[in-house]
Amino acid sequence: MWGPHTVDLFASRTNTQLPRVLDSGERFCQPTMGPHLTVSGEDTEGTVNNHSGDSLLAISDMVSNPTEPCTPTSSPDPAAGSSRLFSRRQSARLDTSSMAHQRQRLMGEGASAATVKVMTESTLAKTRKRHYKGPQAQWILHCSTNSIDPFNPKAVELLNFLAEGIETKGWKPGTVNNYRSAILDLFPDRLSFWSNSTFRDFFRHLSSNSIKRFINTPIDITPVLDNFRAMGPNSDLNPGQLLPKLCWLLAVCGFMRPSDIHRVDVSHSLVLPSGELELQVVGPKEKRAGEHIIKSVFIHPHEDPLICPVATYQCYVAQLAPATLTSVKHPYLDQTFNPLIRYIFDIN
């Protein structure tokens, strides 16, 4: 227990600190280069227990694999096992590898530690890392199985990976473009790829094969408005009725996305003396000069109080918002705000 140790009991063949490892992975084999591992002890009643009849674990050198085939005690699903392996261990390892490469690349270009911190720990860097993590991990895994340098490939090797996704996985042009952006983020010189004529022609031909359908169908909202009128005054609605009504009116009357409604700061929104509703959206999707903004949305009242967005907002704030005025962290910014609407499916 205190050493010196000769067998690593808590490692796998890919992560060990000693020449020999106790392999307790998916198979239980006979020892290849050592005796059986037996455990003897004494229970609380003083009886000696010899567990030599238990399942045997293989003690093997890390240099080579077992020379004889092993008979597994169970037959796990290989597809499920490989999926779990990639999603947990390999994905984390590949993500760490890409981040380490990015740091080394910046430091190799002469960037200071402060510069590296700004470029790798900013809100934009964290958001990009979250979006690029999956495509980059798949690219690095593809390179490892095809003997390709994932951080210095040829343009045609990247095109082969993207074409394979189109052929075998049915990737759409938008998916291919997302993978291309994520993978190019690993390379210090992206212009060298775009200067390659084959690389440019590939995406030109890819976009020429797709047709974006533009649907301009009129939408009749009369049934929704009739339903709001049939529901009665806002004061008679329960939270499960008032909340969807408010979301729909804000989306339609204020041209607000669901993410905009989610980021409304109720502590800085108010009804103006003119009767207009001013909503403060913290960090919406759009930016100005590359920076996040606070967008003001103005909504005019309607003469019919049953379908008036301002009256619905006032009723909602009076009934529900005061009980939820606690700050939460912004999903993308390093700051907190008081959301108007927090849990859509749990009103309380």
Asked whether residue 293 carries a pLDDT value surpassing 70, the answer given is yes
- 7 by Cβ neighbours in 10 Å (0-12 / 13-18 / 19+) ranks as middle
pLDDT of residue 334: 77
Which of these, 320, 174, 137, lies nearest to 242 by C-alpha position? 320
DSSP state of 256: -
Higher pLDDT, 311 or 239: 311
Amino acid present at 193 = F
Handedness of CA 76, 78, 80, 81 (dihedral sign): positive
What whole-number percentage of the chain has pLDDT above 90? 37
Residue tagged 């009256």 (tokens): 311
> Mean pLDDT of all residues in the chain?
76
Give per-residue pLDDT as tens, 183-208: 998 887 888 899 999 999 999 888 88
Give helix 91-108 / helix 113-121 axis angle, nearest 10°. Answer: 140
Asked whether residue 226 carries a pLDDT value surpassing 80, the answer given is yes
Average pLDDT over residues 304-319: 93
Weakest-pLDDT range from 149-158, 207-216, 311-320: 207-216
Continuous segment of H or E residues that includes residue 243: helix 239-254
| Alpha carbons 198 and 192: distance in angstroms, whole number | 12
pLDDT of residue 71: 46
- Beta carbons of 41 and 29 less than 8 angstroms apart: no
Give per-residue pLDDT as tens, 159-188: 999 999 999 999 988 899 999 999 998 887
pLDDT of residue 106: 80
If phi > 0 it is left, if psi is from -120 to 50 it is alpha, else beta; for residue 39 that is beta
Give per-residue pLDDT as tens, 265-283: 988 999 999 999 999 999 9
Higher pLDDT, 319 or 326: 319
pLDDT of residue 265: 92
Those residues whose C-beta lies under 8 Å from the C-beta of residue 44, and which sit 6 or more positions away, are: none
Average pLDDT over residues 8-35: 49
Which residues are 270's β-sheet partners? Answer: 278
Which of these, 292, 301, 304, lies nearest to 330 by C-alpha position? 292
pTM: 0.51
Residue tagged 């938008």 (tokens): 174
Asked whether residue 221 carries a pLDDT value surpassing 60, the answer given is yes
Asked whether residue 299 carries a pLDDT value surpassing 80, the answer given is yes
Which residues are 339's β-sheet partners? Answer: 265
Higher pLDDT, 210 or 113: 113
**DSSP secondary structure string for all residues of 92-156:** HHHHHHHHHHHHHHHHHTT--HHHHHHHHHSHHHHHHHHHHHHHHHHHHHHHHHTT--TTS--HH
pLDDT of residue 95: 52
pLDDT of residue 43: 46
Q: How many residues does the chain have?
A: 348
- Beta carbons of 101 and 136 less than 8 angstroms apart: no
Query: How is the chain split into domains, by residue range?
Result: 90-209, 221-346
| Alpha carbons 143 and 293: distance in angstroms, whole number | 40
Q: Encoding tokens for residue 272?
A: 């103006």
| Alpha carbons 283 and 330: distance in angstroms, whole number | 8
Average pLDDT over residues 306-310: 96
Weakest-pLDDT range from 125-129, 146-150, 284-288: 125-129
